[in-house]
Structure 1
């Protein structure tokens, strides 16, 4: 009996399209989980799951998979490119704010009232790369400030604290808790409303008590954040656009 998953799985959509899915074993997973991101579709599964079970799961969820991939393509396609020096709008804490430019002796980014200002020297070499680096640092600093305002309150109520906080660009996840009790948060959350960020933070902190998604885990989340369902739904509805927007401003294109 074959228990080894192939390096790639394929699902056939109703219109005959062949959809490629990457199978990913996860040591702490207790069930099959299908996710879609800008990097493609991924199927997480507990080690030892039969390849036939993976294929059957995909067949049962192919309509959902196709709809999510189309939604992601539409979201990414709706995000226009940007050019240094040209005024634009950028997502910040769930709101579109004007992004304005000015000449500066050195590269810098500032929040002024309801605008974001980017300063660049007139003859800046590789301005797009510089801007991407500036914005990545700005968003990480903002995210860390927002988390710092809530972290002490929730860890005191929980009676547990993470060993560290890491901000990274995650393809499909919003956050995770690793085996060393470090909380990882997706950089894109800097563009989300603070309530949605708070939900992800509380979610990962509660894993310090319960390492799975059992009813006991969700009870812990609900005790700290009663409105967690609304924030989870917001991320499900707007998450693809959020990640595509961060990809647009921060990701460095491949050569």
Structure 2
């Protein structure tokens, strides 16, 4: 039985499956589109984020229908990629070449130093990276992630005590992770997750997300009562939401470019 026919009639997958499909625009330019078959998906969907173009198929959608959908929306996809060009294909960190590092809404001066051990530290002059002769790019990404996590936890540690007094409880724990679309989440047990790329943006935006999630300890929804709690603790919250709409995609893309393998 031909392989293509087998793929077309196979049972619906129970887990997410990914592959890549090529697409040629009218001007001859070709791109790779990540094709994702997701059992949770209800319909065909085409989207663009800091990782590039993504085509999502429901479990039982055929490859032919996905290809047709992609071709029908080819011009829309090209426009979206042009709109978000500044958030795609960002340069990775290059030892002794890169001169700045995004941190707290600024481009911090980056100083490369020779050293016996790889270390990333920061002070009022900028960020210092000690680079041993045998260091690898993978080691650099791990060290940079630890640096960003430390800086983010330092910020959280300064801000959190101000908001704990009038909450019904403190968050169980706070995790920093790379999130694809969200900026934060709060689980039923009170554990909080925050997007690590928040530390790249301006501190007031980071603080807003922290307050946003803390208020879910009072109301586990986005009801008017919930937003009154946010307003009381962070009156400028709408300005920070506008900031994320304008710069959020670039923040996530920057972190991914710096830490992706």
Sort the TM-score into its range (normalised by shorter chain). Answer: 0.7 to 0.9
Structure 1 moving runs of 4+ over 6 Å: 18-24
Per the alignment, in what secondary structure is the counterpart of residue 161 of structure 1? coil
2:249 corresponds, among 227, 230, 240, to: 240
CA separation of 1:172/1:116 partners in 2, compared to 1, >3 Å: closer, same or farther? Answer: same
Structure 1 residue runs of 5 or longer lacking an equivalent are 9-14, 27-33, 44-50, 52-61
For 1:207 and 1:68, the matched residues in 2 are separated by 33
C-alpha distance after superposition, 1:86-127 (max 9, x if no partner): 242111100011111011121111213231110011x2142x
Deviation at 1:244, TM superposition (A): 1.1
For 2:205 and 2:161, the matched residues in 1 are separated by 18
Q: Counterparts in 2 of 1:1-255, with a 5 A limit? A: 37-39=49-51, 70-77=82-89, 79-121=90-132, 123-126=133-136, 128-252=137-261
C-alpha distance after superposition, 1:159-188 (max 9, x if no partner): 331111001111111111112211100110
Aligned residues: 216
CA separation of 1:153/1:197 partners in 2, compared to 1, >3 Å: closer, same or farther? Answer: same
Per the alignment, in what secondary structure is the counterpart of residue 88 of structure 2? helix
Per the alignment, in what secondary structure is the counterpart of residue 122 of structure 2? strand
CA separation of 1:19/1:137 partners in 2, compared to 1, >3 Å: closer, same or farther? Answer: closer
For 2:215 and 2:38, the matched residues in 1 are separated by 27
Once superposed, what is the RMSD of the aligned Cα atoms? 3.4
CA separation of 1:152/1:100 partners in 2, compared to 1, >3 Å: closer, same or farther? Answer: same
| Higher radius of gyration, 1 or 2 | 2
Structure 2 residue runs of 5 or longer lacking an equivalent are 1-11, 18-24, 27-32, 62-72
TM-score (norm 1): 0.72
For 2:245 and 2:37, the matched residues in 1 are separated by 21
For 1:159 and 1:187, the matched residues in 2 are separated by 26
For 1:35 and 1:176, the matched residues in 2 are separated by 22
For 2:197 and 2:252, the matched residues in 1 are separated by 6
For 1:42 and 1:172, the matched residues in 2 are separated by 16
For 1:68 and 1:183, the matched residues in 2 are separated by 32
Contact kept? 2:178, 2:197, Cα under 8 Å: yes
TM-score (norm 2): 0.71
